[in-house]
Amino acid sequence: MMESRIKELARKRNAVILVHNYQPPQIQDIADFCGDSLELSIRASETSADVIVFCGVHFMAETASIVCPDKTVLLPRTEAGCPMADMITPPSLKAMLEELGKLPVVTYVNSPASVKALSTVCCTSANAVKVVNSLEEKELLMTPDRNLASYTEAHTDKKIHKWAGCCPIHDALRAEDIEKARQKHPDAEVMAHPECRPEVTETADVVLSTSGMLKHARQSDRSSFIVATENGLIYPLKKNCPDKSFFPASETMMRMWPNALKIWLPKSRSLLISSKKRWTP
């Protein structure tokens, strides 16, 4: 089987396979670790692996390279990018700061390394509020996700200038989608990602990162959940909680992250065989 050949190649190269939560099921099933992007990079840094195969997108491979400078980082498809991360560049960030004046910049990890380098501090979707509240300044710029910035601003007394970027998948979800899902599954708890629009996070029962959703579902006494994030997360939720039910917030709008589909088993196998090149941010 292709899966067993990939695992054997990984063993021979002393490689660890990291797979983001949004990847297709067949990719998740070959992972050594599944999770959020930063979480995966940190877990890889704690291993003795020489090679990291990161089944994700550009900024994830960059993050792994930064966190694990002594390891070779391989990205199965170099054209797999993140639309949100592509919505900001160093020149455009510098131009905005010239307009706003000198402000601290809080940048979401879903961004290019070159933008992170110009930022005051980085945050995840799970710790954005805590990071912003840790700053002494009362006014700041948050990039590149306007929705995460809006969610953060609602939980702080600071003034947040918002970059105009977003995740197209999460941004497409509307409050009426949540209402329709609730009508179909009245007993289900709504879990929403903070990359969703304010109209969605405000109506959700809980707002959590993908790893936060996985943890919450395991620990919750509830037996059914409406999942307002990319539909790829449904698979690990069901895998981790086989006795519980999970329903997508929208069948039509929350489709599989297009760039996640660019990772496929044969490409991962050929990469382990032929590539000796380290990912360079």
How many domains are there within the chain?
A: 3
The predicted-structure confidence for 162-178, as pLDDT tens digits, reads as follows 999 999 999 999 999 99
Q: Is the pLDDT of residue 260 over 90?
A: no
Q: Does the pLDDT value for residue 281 go beyond 90?
A: no
Q: What's the domain range around 140?
A: 85-166
Q: How far is CA 46 from CA 16, 52, 63, in A?
A: 11, 12, 15
Residue 281: inside a domain: no
Do 56 and 14 share a structural domain?
yes
CATH of the domain at 60: 3.40.50.10800
- Whether residues 12 and 61 share a domain: the answer is yes
Q: Is residue 279 part of a domain?
A: no
Domain boundary among 141, 166, 191: 166
How much is the pLDDT for 77? 80
Judge whether 248 lies within some domain. Answer: yes
Domain shared by 213 and 149, yes or no: no
pLDDT in tens, 49-59: 999 999 988 89
Domain-ending residue, one of 120, 137, 166 = 166
pLDDT tens digits, one per residue of 109-148? 999 999 999 999 999 999 999 999 999 999 999 999 999 9
Statement to judge: residues 63 and 114 lie in one domain: no
* Residues 250 and 182 placed together within one structural domain of the fold: yes
% of the chain surpassing 70 pLDDT: 89
Question: In terms of domains, do 107 and 54 share one?
Answer: no
**Shared domain check, 69 and 99:** no
* 131 within some domain: yes
Q: What is the pTM of this model?
A: 0.89
Predicted pLDDT at 253? 55
Residue 102 counted as domain residue = yes
Give the other-Cβ count within 10 Å of 176's Cβ: 12
Q: Are residues 188 and 247 in the same domain?
A: yes
pLDDT bracket for residue 268 (50, 70, 90): very low
Tens-place pLDDT, residues 58-114: 899 999 999 999 999 998 887 788 999 999 999 999 999 999 999 999 999 999 999
Q: Does 280 reside within a domain? A: no
277: pLDDT strictly greater than 90: no
